[in-house]
Amino acid sequence: MESLTVSSHALIIIGVLAAAWMFLKLAPRLFVRQVFRLIFRAIGKDALTNVPEQIHLSRAPAPQWNDPATIQLQATPLVRAGFLDQGTYSVDKMPGVLVRILFQPATYVAAHITEHSRAGNWIELATRYTDGSSDFLTTLPDQGIAAPPFARTARAQKGTPTDNLYQQHLSQRKSSAIKPVNQNDVAHEFEDAYMRYMVWKNNKGLTPEEVAKVTQKWAKAKQQATGRS
């Protein structure tokens, strides 16, 4: 999700900084480094103010997927592995996001097949624990944003068959103190995990280093997109 991307206003600031680099490089290196840290810190603070701390999932009875064939291809192996299809949800305050949720009642694993109108498609498998922590396996590439210690995240390659992802998640997750989630509470668990993450992130803030990483990824992705056009 683009839940922690830099705001449009911040990107404009970054663009101005890039254009002014020829002037800044004449200054002492330490001074430039301090200036950029202050600016990136301000950008991070501005970015977090544009990210909702809480979200709500609503059922989407007729979801308009950009690539419905891929979504079905990802869901089918999970259904064969005993997952129950919980339906597709839209996310308030995040236009363009659809999440198809499936749940395995024997192992208490939730699968979130997500599509964003601009960010594309990714899959996340989640196990919740009685201490409030979670184990995740996701095909979303690292965005450069540090996760809280209670949201342990492993990554897998996009395109990996979802039944393989499921087995990988089972082998990597903690095996004790798993929360016995009811299938009717899976969507609420998603909302709660998001809120816990954002409360932690808002308290901690985005570091200048995190903002720099996100900026570099955004610039690289834009350059690649421009090259393909």
- pLDDT (tens digit, 9 = 90+) per residue, 17-51? 433 444 444 445 544 455 455 555 555 566 667 77
Between CA 100 and CA 57 the distance in angstroms is 11
Check: CB of residue 218 under 8 Å from CB of residue 11. Answer: yes
* 1 domain residue, yes or no: no
Question: What's the average model confidence in pLDDT over 102-108?
Answer: 98
| Percent of the chain at pLDDT exceeding 70 | 70
Query: Based on the domain organization, do 81 and 157 belong to the same domain?
Result: yes
Instruction: List the beta strands (DSSP E) in 3-119.
Output: 57-59, 84-91, 97-104, 109-116
Q: Say if residue 74 is in the same domain as residue 39.
A: no
pLDDT of residue 15: 36
CA-based Rg of the chain, rounded to a whole angstrom? Answer: 19
- 90 with 163, same domain? yes
d(CA 17, CA 84): 50
Residues 135 and 71 in one domain: yes
Examine the domain organization and report whether 70 and 13 are in the same domain: no
Residues 223 and 110 in one domain: no
Mean pLDDT of the chain: 80
Domain total in the chain: 2
Within a domain: 147:
yes
CA dist 142 → 14, 65, 84, 137, 156 (Å): 21, 24, 28, 12, 10
For 131, the 3-state DSSP assignment is: coil
Mean pLDDT, residues 108-126 taken together: 92
* Of the candidates 168, 164, 165, 133, the residue with the CA atom closest to the CA atom of residue 151: 133
Tell me, what's the pLDDT at 210? 72
* Shared domain check, 214 and 178: no
Rama region for 207: left / alpha / beta (φ>0; ψ in -120 to 50; rest)? beta
Whether 7 shows a pLDDT value over 70: the answer reads: no
Q: What integer pLDDT is reported at residue 24 of this predicted model?
A: 43
Burial class (CB in 10 A: 0-12, 13-18, 19+), 15: exposed
Mean pLDDT of 144-150: 86
pLDDT value of residue 105: 97
Residue 141 neighbours by CB under 8 Å, 6+ apart? 155, 158
Which structural domain range is residue 86 located in? 57-200
Higher-confidence residue: 72 or 224?
Answer: 72
Q: Are residues 128 and 77 in the same domain?
A: yes
Over residues 160-209, the pLDDT tens digits come to 999 999 999 999 999 999 999 999 999 999 999 999 988 888 888 877 77
E strands in the chain: 57-59, 84-91, 97-104, 109-116, 120-128, 134-138, 151-155
Asked whether residue 189 falls in the same domain as residue 206, the answer is no
Q: Within a domain: residue 2?
A: no
Do 64 and 30 lie in a common domain? no
My answer on whether 140 and 172 are in the same domain is yes
Statement to judge: residues 192 and 213 lie in one domain: no
The pLDDT assigned to 204 comes to 84
Is residue 3 in some structural domain? no
Find, among 111, 217, 89, the residue nearest to 156 by Cα: 111
User: What's residue 93's pLDDT?
Assistant: 84
